[in-house]
Amino acid sequence: MTIDISLVAVILNFVLLLIILNAILYKPLKGFLSDRQKKIQSDIEEASKSIEKAYNLAQQREYELKNAIEEARNIKEAIRVEAENQAENIIKAAKEHERDIISQTENKLKTMSEQTMRDFESQITEIVADLTGKVLAEKIDDVKDRELINRLLANRGKG
């Protein structure tokens, strides 16, 4: 078996080419791919952290929203209670005012009634005094008596 020199040269060329390609292309390409893989892994981890952070922020916002809604309900309830209290106070004040007006009106009516009774008594007293004076002044029969009473009443109605 004879090994031809050209075969040895081809093998040496091939090994030399492998060494050169390994040094020039394969190691830098392998390093580039390794760096790229690390970068992708790093980006995936950052994205994962960002997603987790976003999820936590979403939960926090949801919690804050629930608190805000609850606070709004509480404020609404407080406003409703305050409005009911004010309405009750207004109604109480109106009823007290109504009682005051009724009391004042009753007092005025009582005063007017008393004044009317005094006026009526005064007029009756005058009529009786006039009639008594006329009766004592002259002797009157029944017909003249009625005429006199009617005339006095007519005069009083005009005056």
Is residue 94 included in any domain, yes or no? yes
Is residue 12 included in any domain, yes or no? no
Is residue 1 included in any domain, yes or no? no
DSSP string, the chain: ----HHHHHHHHHHHHHHHHHIIIIIHHHHHHHHHHHHHHHHHHHHHHHHHHHHHHHHHHHHHHHHHHHHHHHHHHHHHHHHHHHHHHHHHHHHHHHHHHHHHHHHHHHHHHHHHHHHHHHHHHHHHHHHHHHHHHHS---HHHHHHHHHHHHHHHHH-
Q: What is the extent of the structural domain holding 123?
A: 25-158
Is residue 43 included in any domain, yes or no? yes
Is residue 136 included in any domain, yes or no? yes
Is residue 54 included in any domain, yes or no? yes
User: What tens-digit pLDDT sequence spans the chain (159 residues)?
Assistant: 566 888 888 889 999 998 998 888 888 888 889 999 999 999 999 999 999 999 999 999 999 999 999 999 999 999 999 999 999 999 999 999 999 999 999 999 999 998 988 888 888 888 777 777 766 666 567 777 777 778 777 877 665
Is residue 45 included in any domain, yes or no? yes
pTM over 0.85: no
Is residue 14 included in any domain, yes or no? no
How many domains would you assign to the chain? 1
